[in-house]
Amino acid sequence: MKPLDHQQQQARTWFEALRDRICAEFEAIEREAGSGARFAYTPWDRESEGIAPGEGGGGVRGVMKGKVFEKVGVNVSTVGGRFSPEFARTIHGAGEDPEFFATGISLVAHMANPHVPAVHMNTRFLVTTKRWFGGGADLNPPIPYEDDTAFFHEVLKKACDAHGADYYERFSKWAEDYFYIPHRKVHRGVGGIFYDHIECADDAEFDANFAFTRAVGEAFLAAFPPIVRRRMGLDWTEADKAHQLEWRGRYAEFNLVHDRGTIFGLKTGGNIEAILMSLPPLASWS
Protein backbone atom coordinates (compact mmCIF):
# COMPACT_ATOMS: atom_id res chain seq x y z
CA MET A 1 0.00 0.00 0.00
CA LYS A 2 1.24 3.51 -0.77
CA PRO A 3 2.62 5.63 2.11
CA LEU A 4 -0.13 7.52 3.90
CA ASP A 5 -0.44 11.26 3.45
CA HIS A 6 -1.07 13.61 6.38
CA GLN A 7 -4.86 13.39 6.23
CA GLN A 8 -4.88 9.61 5.91
CA GLN A 9 -2.50 9.20 8.85
CA GLN A 10 -4.49 11.60 11.03
CA ALA A 11 -7.68 9.66 10.40
CA ARG A 12 -6.04 6.29 10.98
CA THR A 13 -4.44 7.42 14.24
CA TRP A 14 -7.77 8.75 15.56
CA PHE A 15 -9.72 5.61 14.71
CA GLU A 16 -7.16 3.40 16.42
CA ALA A 17 -7.08 5.64 19.51
CA LEU A 18 -10.89 5.62 19.67
CA ARG A 19 -10.83 1.82 19.49
CA ASP A 20 -8.52 1.70 22.49
CA ARG A 21 -10.75 3.99 24.55
CA ILE A 22 -13.97 2.15 23.68
CA CYS A 23 -12.48 -1.25 24.46
CA ALA A 24 -11.13 0.01 27.79
CA GLU A 25 -14.58 1.33 28.74
CA PHE A 26 -16.31 -1.92 27.77
CA GLU A 27 -13.79 -3.94 29.77
CA ALA A 28 -14.40 -1.63 32.75
CA ILE A 29 -18.12 -2.42 32.53
CA GLU A 30 -17.32 -6.14 32.57
CA ARG A 31 -15.21 -5.67 35.70
CA GLU A 32 -18.07 -3.77 37.37
CA ALA A 33 -20.25 -6.82 36.68
CA GLY A 34 -17.71 -9.15 38.29
CA SER A 35 -16.28 -10.46 35.03
CA GLY A 36 -12.66 -10.56 33.95
CA ALA A 37 -13.50 -10.63 30.25
CA ARG A 38 -11.03 -8.90 27.95
CA PHE A 39 -10.77 -8.21 24.25
CA ALA A 40 -8.77 -10.63 22.14
CA TYR A 41 -7.08 -8.93 19.19
CA THR A 42 -6.31 -10.60 15.87
CA PRO A 43 -4.38 -8.73 13.16
CA TRP A 44 -5.13 -9.48 9.52
CA ASP A 45 -3.82 -8.56 6.07
CA ARG A 46 -6.04 -7.62 3.17
CA GLU A 47 -6.18 -10.44 0.65
CA SER A 48 -6.94 -9.77 -2.99
CA GLU A 49 -5.82 -11.12 -6.32
CA GLY A 50 -2.46 -9.70 -7.38
CA ILE A 51 -1.63 -8.27 -3.95
CA ALA A 52 1.30 -9.61 -1.95
CA PRO A 53 0.73 -10.09 1.81
CA GLY A 54 0.97 -6.74 3.57
CA GLU A 55 0.79 -4.62 0.43
CA GLY A 56 -2.96 -4.07 0.59
CA GLY A 57 -3.06 -2.96 4.20
CA GLY A 58 -5.12 -4.72 6.82
CA GLY A 59 -6.53 -4.27 10.27
CA VAL A 60 -7.11 -5.65 13.73
CA ARG A 61 -10.21 -7.53 14.82
CA GLY A 62 -11.06 -7.14 18.50
CA VAL A 63 -13.69 -9.41 20.07
CA MET A 64 -14.84 -9.81 23.67
CA LYS A 65 -17.36 -12.28 25.07
CA GLY A 66 -18.29 -11.59 28.66
CA LYS A 67 -21.01 -11.38 31.28
CA VAL A 68 -22.52 -8.10 30.03
CA PHE A 69 -21.35 -8.13 26.43
CA GLU A 70 -22.39 -11.50 25.07
CA LYS A 71 -20.37 -10.63 21.96
CA VAL A 72 -18.84 -7.31 21.00
CA GLY A 73 -16.53 -6.66 18.08
CA VAL A 74 -14.47 -3.49 17.66
CA ASN A 75 -12.51 -3.49 14.42
CA VAL A 76 -10.07 -1.03 12.87
CA SER A 77 -8.71 -1.27 9.34
CA THR A 78 -6.58 0.68 6.90
CA VAL A 79 -6.60 -0.70 3.37
CA GLY A 80 -5.84 0.38 -0.17
CA GLY A 81 -5.61 -0.87 -3.71
CA ARG A 82 -7.94 -1.03 -6.67
CA PHE A 83 -11.63 -1.85 -6.80
CA SER A 84 -12.86 -4.30 -9.39
CA PRO A 85 -14.28 -2.38 -12.40
CA GLU A 86 -17.85 -3.44 -11.60
CA PHE A 87 -17.64 -2.52 -7.91
CA ALA A 88 -15.80 0.75 -8.66
CA ARG A 89 -18.88 2.04 -10.46
CA THR A 90 -20.86 1.79 -7.21
CA ILE A 91 -18.34 3.75 -5.10
CA HIS A 92 -18.33 7.53 -4.83
CA GLY A 93 -15.53 8.95 -7.01
CA ALA A 94 -14.20 5.58 -8.21
CA GLY A 95 -15.99 5.23 -11.53
CA GLU A 96 -13.15 6.70 -13.60
CA ASP A 97 -10.22 5.57 -11.43
CA PRO A 98 -10.60 2.42 -9.27
CA GLU A 99 -7.73 3.19 -6.89
CA PHE A 100 -8.87 3.66 -3.30
CA PHE A 101 -7.79 4.14 0.30
CA ALA A 102 -10.01 3.49 3.32
CA THR A 103 -9.49 3.66 7.05
CA GLY A 104 -12.06 3.37 9.79
CA ILE A 105 -13.50 1.83 12.92
CA SER A 106 -16.53 -0.46 13.08
CA LEU A 107 -18.29 -1.67 16.21
CA VAL A 108 -21.25 -3.94 16.97
CA ALA A 109 -22.24 -5.07 20.47
CA HIS A 110 -24.76 -7.81 21.23
CA MET A 111 -25.69 -7.83 24.91
CA ALA A 112 -26.43 -10.71 27.28
CA ASN A 113 -29.36 -9.00 29.04
CA PRO A 114 -32.36 -8.41 26.72
CA HIS A 115 -33.02 -5.11 28.51
CA VAL A 116 -29.67 -3.72 27.30
CA PRO A 117 -29.81 -2.52 23.69
CA ALA A 118 -27.44 -3.76 21.05
CA VAL A 119 -25.57 -0.99 19.30
CA HIS A 120 -23.70 -0.25 16.09
CA MET A 121 -21.18 2.50 15.40
CA ASN A 122 -18.71 3.17 12.63
CA THR A 123 -16.79 6.09 11.20
CA ARG A 124 -14.53 6.03 8.17
CA PHE A 125 -12.41 8.11 5.78
CA LEU A 126 -12.24 7.13 2.12
CA VAL A 127 -10.12 8.41 -0.74
CA THR A 128 -10.86 7.78 -4.42
CA THR A 129 -10.79 10.68 -6.88
CA LYS A 130 -12.65 12.36 -4.00
CA ARG A 131 -12.11 12.37 -0.25
CA TRP A 132 -14.92 11.97 2.23
CA PHE A 133 -16.04 10.91 5.68
CA GLY A 134 -18.97 8.72 6.58
CA GLY A 135 -20.35 6.89 9.56
CA GLY A 136 -22.88 7.08 12.34
CA ALA A 137 -24.32 5.22 15.32
CA ASP A 138 -27.66 3.58 15.97
CA LEU A 139 -29.35 1.90 18.93
CA ASN A 140 -31.01 -1.50 18.55
CA PRO A 141 -33.01 -2.49 21.65
CA PRO A 142 -35.00 -5.75 21.77
CA ILE A 143 -37.00 -4.10 24.57
CA PRO A 144 -37.07 -0.34 23.90
CA TYR A 145 -37.08 2.21 26.72
CA GLU A 146 -38.17 5.71 25.78
CA ASP A 147 -35.67 7.38 28.11
CA ASP A 148 -32.77 5.38 26.62
CA THR A 149 -33.83 6.31 23.10
CA ALA A 150 -34.26 9.97 24.03
CA PHE A 151 -30.87 10.11 25.78
CA PHE A 152 -29.03 8.45 22.88
CA HIS A 153 -30.56 10.85 20.36
CA GLU A 154 -29.99 13.85 22.65
CA VAL A 155 -26.24 13.16 22.84
CA LEU A 156 -25.97 12.65 19.08
CA LYS A 157 -28.00 15.80 18.41
CA LYS A 158 -25.66 17.85 20.59
CA ALA A 159 -22.67 16.56 18.62
CA CYS A 160 -24.39 17.32 15.31
CA ASP A 161 -25.58 20.80 16.33
CA ALA A 162 -22.02 21.87 17.14
CA HIS A 163 -20.98 21.24 13.54
CA GLY A 164 -23.99 21.92 11.35
CA ALA A 165 -27.38 23.46 12.04
CA ASP A 166 -29.12 20.89 9.85
CA TYR A 167 -26.89 17.90 10.60
CA TYR A 168 -29.10 16.16 13.13
CA GLU A 169 -32.26 16.57 11.06
CA ARG A 170 -30.52 15.31 7.93
CA PHE A 171 -28.52 12.49 9.45
CA SER A 172 -31.20 11.14 11.78
CA LYS A 173 -33.59 10.97 8.82
CA TRP A 174 -30.86 9.26 6.80
CA ALA A 175 -30.48 6.66 9.57
CA GLU A 176 -34.24 6.15 9.69
CA ASP A 177 -34.28 5.47 5.96
CA TYR A 178 -31.09 3.41 5.87
CA PHE A 179 -31.62 1.12 8.86
CA TYR A 180 -34.84 -0.30 7.46
CA ILE A 181 -35.53 -3.91 6.48
CA PRO A 182 -37.73 -3.70 3.36
CA HIS A 183 -38.70 -7.36 3.25
CA ARG A 184 -39.86 -7.17 6.88
CA LYS A 185 -41.23 -3.63 6.62
CA VAL A 186 -39.66 -2.75 9.97
CA HIS A 187 -36.80 -0.55 11.17
CA ARG A 188 -33.75 -2.29 12.58
CA GLY A 189 -33.88 -0.32 15.82
CA VAL A 190 -34.75 3.11 17.22
CA GLY A 191 -32.37 5.02 14.99
CA GLY A 192 -29.47 7.36 15.53
CA ILE A 193 -27.53 9.10 12.77
CA PHE A 194 -26.04 8.01 9.47
CA TYR A 195 -23.97 10.13 7.09
CA ASP A 196 -21.87 9.47 4.02
CA HIS A 197 -19.96 11.25 1.25
CA ILE A 198 -19.18 14.29 3.41
CA GLU A 199 -16.56 15.56 0.99
CA CYS A 200 -13.23 17.21 1.76
CA ALA A 201 -12.23 19.29 -1.25
CA ASP A 202 -9.47 21.12 0.66
CA ASP A 203 -7.69 21.15 4.02
CA ALA A 204 -10.31 23.40 5.62
CA GLU A 205 -13.12 21.00 4.72
CA PHE A 206 -11.05 18.05 5.89
CA ASP A 207 -10.45 19.73 9.25
CA ALA A 208 -14.14 20.56 9.69
CA ASN A 209 -15.42 17.14 8.65
CA PHE A 210 -12.77 15.30 10.62
CA ALA A 211 -13.77 17.32 13.68
CA PHE A 212 -17.39 16.24 13.19
CA THR A 213 -16.38 12.60 12.76
CA ARG A 214 -14.37 12.77 15.98
CA ALA A 215 -17.43 14.30 17.68
CA VAL A 216 -19.51 11.30 16.61
CA GLY A 217 -17.00 8.98 18.25
CA GLU A 218 -17.02 11.05 21.43
CA ALA A 219 -20.82 11.10 21.41
CA PHE A 220 -20.94 7.32 21.22
CA LEU A 221 -18.66 7.06 24.25
CA ALA A 222 -20.85 9.54 26.12
CA ALA A 223 -24.15 7.89 25.19
CA PHE A 224 -23.88 4.11 25.16
CA PRO A 225 -21.99 3.11 28.35
CA PRO A 226 -24.46 4.94 30.65
CA ILE A 227 -27.34 3.05 29.02
CA VAL A 228 -25.54 -0.26 29.54
CA ARG A 229 -24.92 0.50 33.20
CA ARG A 230 -28.55 1.56 33.66
CA ARG A 231 -29.99 -1.72 32.32
CA MET A 232 -27.42 -4.47 32.78
CA GLY A 233 -28.62 -5.48 36.26
CA LEU A 234 -32.31 -5.80 35.41
CA ASP A 235 -34.00 -9.17 35.75
CA TRP A 236 -35.23 -10.82 32.58
CA THR A 237 -37.44 -13.76 31.69
CA GLU A 238 -37.13 -16.60 29.20
CA ALA A 239 -39.78 -14.80 27.13
CA ASP A 240 -37.56 -11.69 27.10
CA LYS A 241 -34.63 -13.80 25.89
CA ALA A 242 -36.72 -15.47 23.20
CA HIS A 243 -37.82 -12.05 21.96
CA GLN A 244 -34.19 -10.88 21.90
CA LEU A 245 -33.08 -13.89 19.85
CA GLU A 246 -35.84 -13.39 17.30
CA TRP A 247 -35.00 -9.69 17.05
CA ARG A 248 -31.35 -10.61 16.49
CA GLY A 249 -32.47 -12.60 13.47
CA ARG A 250 -33.81 -9.38 11.97
CA TYR A 251 -30.48 -7.69 12.71
CA ALA A 252 -28.63 -10.48 10.91
CA GLU A 253 -30.93 -10.23 7.91
CA PHE A 254 -30.22 -6.53 7.50
CA ASN A 255 -26.47 -6.92 7.81
CA LEU A 256 -26.26 -9.78 5.34
CA VAL A 257 -28.64 -8.38 2.75
CA HIS A 258 -28.51 -4.59 2.91
CA ASP A 259 -25.55 -3.28 4.91
CA ARG A 260 -23.06 -1.29 2.80
CA GLY A 261 -20.16 -1.99 5.13
CA THR A 262 -20.62 -5.74 4.82
CA ILE A 263 -20.73 -5.49 1.04
CA PHE A 264 -17.67 -3.19 0.96
CA GLY A 265 -15.63 -5.58 3.08
CA LEU A 266 -16.55 -8.63 1.05
CA LYS A 267 -15.83 -6.86 -2.25
CA THR A 268 -12.41 -5.54 -1.19
CA GLY A 269 -10.76 -8.63 0.25
CA GLY A 270 -11.40 -7.83 3.89
CA ASN A 271 -11.06 -10.33 6.70
CA ILE A 272 -14.19 -12.49 6.71
CA GLU A 273 -14.33 -12.89 10.49
CA ALA A 274 -13.94 -9.13 10.96
CA ILE A 275 -16.64 -8.39 8.38
CA LEU A 276 -19.10 -10.83 9.91
CA MET A 277 -18.37 -9.91 13.54
CA SER A 278 -21.60 -7.90 13.31
CA LEU A 279 -23.60 -11.13 13.41
CA PRO A 280 -24.97 -12.14 16.81
CA PRO A 281 -23.63 -15.24 18.60
CA LEU A 282 -27.15 -16.67 18.84
CA ALA A 283 -30.35 -15.83 16.98
CA SER A 284 -33.65 -17.49 16.16
CA TRP A 285 -36.32 -17.43 13.49
CA SER A 286 -39.90 -18.44 14.17
Write out the catalytic residue numbers.
Answer: 120
Q: How far apart are CA 85 and CA 218, in angstroms?
A: 36
Enumerate the β-bridge partners of residue 110: 71
Helix/strand/coil (H/E/C) assignment for every residue in 55-88: CCEEEEEEEECCCCEEEEEEEEEEEEEECCHHHH
Residue 272's nearest CA partner among 103, 61, 1 is: 61
Maximum Cα–Cα distance across the chain: 56
